[in-house]
Amino acid sequence: MIPFLDLKPINAQYRQELIDAATRVIDSGWYILGQEVKAFEAEFARSCGAVHAVGISNGLDALTLILRAYKELGVLAEGDAVVVPANTYIATILSITENRIEPVLVEPDLGTYNLDPDLIEAALTPRTRAIMVVHLYGQAAAMTEIRAIASRRGLKVIEDCAQAHGAMLDGRVVGTLGDAAGYSFYPGKNLGALGDAGAVLTADPALAETVRALRNYGSHVKYQNRYQGPNNRLDEMQAALLRVKLEHLADENARRRAIARRYLDQIRNPAVILPVVARGDESHVWHLFVVRTRDRDGFQKHLLERGVQTVVHYPIPPHRQEAYRAWNGRSYPITEKIHREVLSLPMSPVMTADQVDAVIAAVNEYRGA
């Protein structure tokens, strides 16, 4: 069986380095907000070309704290609206509703699965204060067009970079293309911790300082609290492990690109729609290799019978979730089509050439319904 994604061999590549990092933390006697978090923040910021990085407990909390910090700073208020792609992973939407801000769902482009900039303007209301962009599946969104709309309308641009570590547009890494960015280091992401972890990037010193306080009970100075903040800290152990993984991110992304290149060149099946790279090789880091077919479930069954495990990202769109019952009657045809048809092929930096060959052969053997 070719697994969709197996984390064990990925982390086994760095087994000794990870053990050394964990040992350093164990022996330090300091487990929360110490040297490892500080060093990871500096190294992650440098690797992205960002000014400030703030380590956070996970990706959802990173996005939630960006919006919360903008509220504390008077940029956003409860009842405001934020534009967000209708086909994103649910966490993007949760970060908005958690802050009692209204998500305005906008349909994606069917080629790239990213926010369609041509549809944004029509969705804006006087209450819209920001656009939350998602670089879905690892591909940088149309940031030049989106930033132009935002600056014309005086909107903040927040990037959800949870799937796109290292993706670049015009020589700049995602997370530095808007006003603030949330990253996730969930174990299965391109830069994965060995537990939950996340970060906020921004060039805005006031925002960075506010997020830094908010992640730690709303405290800038020990035992002084400016805000009623949560505990959303990144811990020393995950930071130390992430420092190891960060060293290898560029190499792992290169290996993902090589696999994607082979899929794109060698999958030849009129029943299978391949992903579109709209803005050059550097703009996609292939967190997922997502194809579409009319009979997705039949296609998935065919691949499984040939020993190829696949996953659907995602089966139910946010507006059809029970958590958002009030939106269940709405219609987003492009988003619904995507959720009906997408299937993610195996993609991992440790896939062998033989495994890639076997996936390609199994896909090419499929006779569409």
* Stretch of residues binding ligand PLP (CB under 6 A), selected from 36-44, 103-111, 157-165, 354-362: 157-165
DSSP E strands, 89-243: 102-106, 128-134, 156-160, 168-169, 172-173, 180-184, 198-202, 219-221, 224-225
Burial class (CB in 10 A: 0-12, 13-18, 19+), 194: middle
Using CB under 6 A, which of 186, 263, 289, 366 touches ligand PLP? Answer: 186
Token representation of residue 224: 């002084």
Size of site (CB under 6 A) for ligand PLP: 15
Task: Report 187-206 residues binding ligand PLP (CB under 6 A).
Answer: 196, 198
Helix (H, G, I), strand (E, B) or coil at 320: helix
Of the pair 196, 267, the CB lying nearest ligand PLP is at 196
Task: Verify binding: residue 85, ligand PLP, rule CB under 6 A.
Answer: no
**Alpha-carbon gap, residue 143 to 178, rounded angstroms:** 8
Q: Pick one of 184, 210, 310, 335: the residue that binds ligand PLP (CB under 6 A).
A: 184
Output the smallest distance, CB 214 to ligand PLP, in A.
16
Q: Is 349 in the site for ligand PLP (CB under 6 A)?
A: no
At residue 186's C-alpha, the angle toward residues 180 and 191, to 5°, is 75
Cα separation of 13 and 194, whole Å?
A: 14
- Choice from 87, 92, 310, 348 touching ligand PLP (CB under 6 A): 92
- H/E stretch holding 4 reads none
State the nearest-atom distance from the C-beta of 369 to ligand PLP, in Å.
30
**Inter-residue contact 112 to 276 (CB < 8 Å):** yes
Choose the binding region for ligand PLP from 142-150, 159-167, 250-258, 300-308 (rule: CB under 6 A). 159-167
Instruction: Report the C-alpha gap between 264 and 93 in whole angstroms.
Output: 31
Site string for ligand PLP, 31-70 (x = CB under 6 A): ---------------------------xxx----------
- Where do contacts with ligand PLP occur on this chain (CB under 6 A)? 58-60, 88-89, 91-92, 134, 160, 162-163, 184, 186, 196, 198
